[in-house]
Amino acid sequence: MQLLFLRPVSSNLLIIIIKAEEKRQQLISTLKKIMIKSPKNFTPFASELSLMIGKLLTDTCPGVKEDLSNFIIVTCKNIEKDIGSHSRQIVQSLCLNLSHQHNKIRKITINVNNNN
């Protein structure tokens, strides 16, 4: 996420930024698959998972936010008792997304959470 403040001086830097977004989306997709197949593996790490989700929700890429919103829904359905007490960071980040200056981010947050 630190790449946000770098200016693309050459095409190589731009490629790094694109790859970073793709890697974050791949990470979320992989975590979602693991969560569906084996949610008990996440229980001991509910606090860390919540912090990670909260930080990823501040990502500038709308695709990451959309994938992450879907992951939050799957997480809450699978380990609701364990994640609930650690969800403060997630809720704060979702609220920030709802007050985001870009309409697209607000729509993604509302639509994903309403459809599930």
Sign, CA dihedral 23-28-34-40, equals positive
Q: Which domain holds residue 23?
A: 2-115
**What is the pLDDT, as a whole number, of residue 11?**
45
Give the model's confidence band at 29: pLDDT under 50 very low, under 70 low, under 90 confident, else very high.
Answer: very high
Whole-angstrom distance, CA of residue 31 vs CA of residue 45 = 13
pLDDT the model gives residue 37 = 93
Looking at the structure of the chain, the number of domains it has is 1
